[in-house]
Chains A and B, each alone.
Chain A
Amino acid sequence: MAENRDSAQGEADRLAALDPRQKHVLRIRALLAGLVPLAMLAIGDVILNRELGFSLGWGIGLGIALYLFSVLLLPGRRYRRWGYRTGERAIRIASGLLVRRETVVPYDRVQHIDVSRGPIERAFGVATLTLHTAGSYNSTVDLPGLAIADANRMRDAIRAHIGQDLA
């Protein structure tokens, strides 16, 4: 009972960080996801230049600036906002850069658990743990960036909890 009391003091410092390799995963995702908006801004640049006589380079300049920001700076910050802690009865997961979220899921409310690995995650040896609850809000809670061994261990531990509660 008392072990949760300390949760009131500070958040990020008491939470475990994700696997550092997750930073690379986030960066590569940003690298790929930014390509489409970048291309659109480049096309917009040309159109604005031809149709309305804007000088060339405004759109693409803005695009490159945003792209660099999202690839170089954002992934590190987002990575630092993530954290988790597995308590005795529940798991706590924090995330979010602008809107910050901190979710608590008691183990006995978990319906089922997924461990998934996309191609980028596979390349870096990390996995995403997804908890499914019966609630319509938070029906799935993701915890990305776990070393594959950790993810499997946590899945088994939570599954053991579910089993205990049923018995």
Chain B
Amino acid sequence: MSEEPENWARLHPATLAIRALERLPELVLGLPAAAYFIGDTGIVVALFLAGAGLAASMLFAFVYWRRFTYWVGPEQLVIESGIVNRNRRTIPFDRIQDVSLEQKLLARLFGVSIVRIETGSSGGDEGELDCVSRAEADRLRDRIRAYRAGNAEREYTVDEGKGEALPPLYAMDFRRLVVAGLFNFSLVFLAILGGVWQYLGSYLPAEYLDPSRWVGAYRKEAVGLISALSILSFAMLLLLVGIVTGLMRTIARDFGFRLTRTETGLRRERGLFTRTDVVIPLRRVQAGIVSTGIIKRLFGWSGLAVQSLGSDGNAGTHHEVSPLATSDELVPVLDELSMPLPPPARDFVRVSPKLIWRSWTQDGLALGIAVLIAAFFWNGWPLLLAAAPFLLIAPLLQYHAHGYCFWKDVLFVRRGFWRPRVTILPLAKAQSATLVRGLTQQGFGLATLAIGTAGASLASPLRILDLEEDTARNLLGERMLLD
């Protein structure tokens, strides 16, 4: 408050160019819509309107840019912004949890970067500089880090040089990237296609997109097309599309993946078009999740993510720190997190086999009720019975994939048959534990142990399902209290 900063800085001027270029696609896509509404008077008016719109938004962006200033003080960052309502935000370096850099494709061309500053407070109180030059971004981050390192009474050598010298904890070369891409089979492409289809649909006359019209007009040809061969080749095409999409997405996201140690956390850089640079402070890591797939596992691959306390209070975040790695490659990363590698599956303690009977009872009852209700309204109710085989098999798979294991002060929980994953939870990070016994479980003498961890998604807390009640009570008493 007392010291008035003397050297206010502005965002990089390239920000304006980026804004303009970002708006262009919207305009181009909007043109047909504008032309449609304006009708025959035509494209000239539409172009004029588009140009005026662009000019207005650029003027706004320019004024905003002029009025956006920041100042890096010895102990705080001050940001002043707002055209009419001036807002001055002071972020003390002490409160900064996380500084991350993000470079989208355009930003990379201009050599600028978005700086995001996350503070521990719940939402709202965060800072964003969009965009500054890469050098300025590095300078800002180094300054904050140096301050924090100095404050923690550690050695005050800015570790940028040191960091470069150290080999990364984990990195992906192109071959690894391709392997990861092959496992990330994805049909999201079809969803995008569907979206485009819908978008175009609002401009084209409706009957062009009505499949019944096409089938009606070419009925004979349509019937002829549906042969075993055509279905097969269609499936092959889908497979190919899925593989290619998975490859492209993975390469775009994880290109140049590098994980390094900084003095406070793990630094992850990745991305082909949008390059992100995130520091995950070790203090905020709550749990580790080693996940694999039923096929991936055969090749010995698995991925590691960490569950970290979110910057916005409760909503936690999962950060991928090694998307595809062998166990040997995971060890150095886990070492930094002070977490042990999960033991092999045979070392896990199974839950009660009554889990299977409990699920069958519960699912059977649910299915029975659904069938009863459906039988009143719907002739097709026997179709519901097709679910029965799945309901019979699922609990068997679930039982075989599920287990837990304690090692020193760490709890491992294993779950999932198709996508097996192990949660690594240092007990010091367990916030609470609850024994839950539903109606069916009471009948079987079973109990589920649910463990509250910070940063977990609300929908899926860490659970050990269907333990014998005594076992569960023992775990609750002995393990959770006496960490």
Contact = CB atoms under 8 A, between A and B. Distances in A.
Contact of B454 (A87, A102, A135): A135
Contacts, number: 101
A139 B456 CA distance: 11
Interface of B: 309, 314, 316, 430-439, 442, 450-458, 461-462, 470, 473-474, 476-478, 480-483
Interface string A86-126: 01011000000011111111100100000000000000000
Given A87-B481, A104-B476, A138 B436 contact: no
B473 A106 contact: no
Contacts of B478: 4-5
Interface string A1-21: 100110110010000000000
Contacts of B470: 8
A136 interface: yes
Given A136-B454, A136-B455, A106 B480 contact: yes
Centre residue among B432, B435, B452, B481 by max chain A CB count within 10 A = B432
15 contacts: A1-B482, A4-B478, A8-B477, A11-B473, A98-B438, A99-B439, A101-B434, A101-B436, A104-B481, A135-B432, A135-B453, A135-B456, A135-B461, A136-B452, A137-B453
Nearest to A111: B431
A149 interface: no
Contacts of A137: 432, 434, 450-453, 456, 458, 461-462
Contacts of B438: 98-99
Contact of B434 (A4, A98, A103, A136): A103
Given A8-B470, A100-B442, A139-B314, A134 B477 contact: no
Contacts of A48: none
Interface of A: 1, 4-5, 7-8, 11, 87, 89-90, 98-106, 109, 133-139, 141
A-B CB proximity, top 10 nearest? A135-B452, A135-B431, A137-B461, A7-B477, A138-B452, A134-B454, A102-B435, A133-B431, A137-B452, A103-B434
A134 B433 CA distance: 12
Contact of B432 (A11, A89, A98, A141): A141
B453 A136 contact: yes
Given A100-B437, A133-B432, A139-B314, A5 B477 contact: yes
Given A136-B314, A137-B456, A109 B481 contact: no
B458 A89 contact: no
A120 B480 CA distance: 35
A87 B480 CA distance: 13
A101 B481 contact: no
Centre residue among B474, B481, B482 by max chain A CB count within 10 A = B481
Nearest to A90: B481
Contact of B437 (A99, A104, A105): A99
A104 B477 CA distance: 8
Contact of A7 (B453, B454, B473): B473
Given A135-B453, A136-B457, A137-B453, A103 B477 contact: no
A20 to B, nearest CB: 26
A98 to B, nearest CB: 6
B439 A104 contact: no
Contacts of A8: 470, 473-474, 477
Contacts of A90: 480-481
Contact of B439 (A98, A101, A135): A98
B452 A4 contact: no
Contacts of B437: 99-101
A104 B473 contact: no
Contacts of B453: 135-137
Nearest to A134: B454
Contact of A101 (B435, B473, B474, B480): B435
A133 B452 contact: yes
Contacts of A89: 481-482
A102 B476 contact: yes
Given A7-B473, A89-B482, A134 B434 contact: no
A18 to B, nearest CB: 19
Given A136-B314, A136-B452, A139-B314, A103 B432 contact: yes
A135 B452 CA distance: 5
Nearest to A10: B473
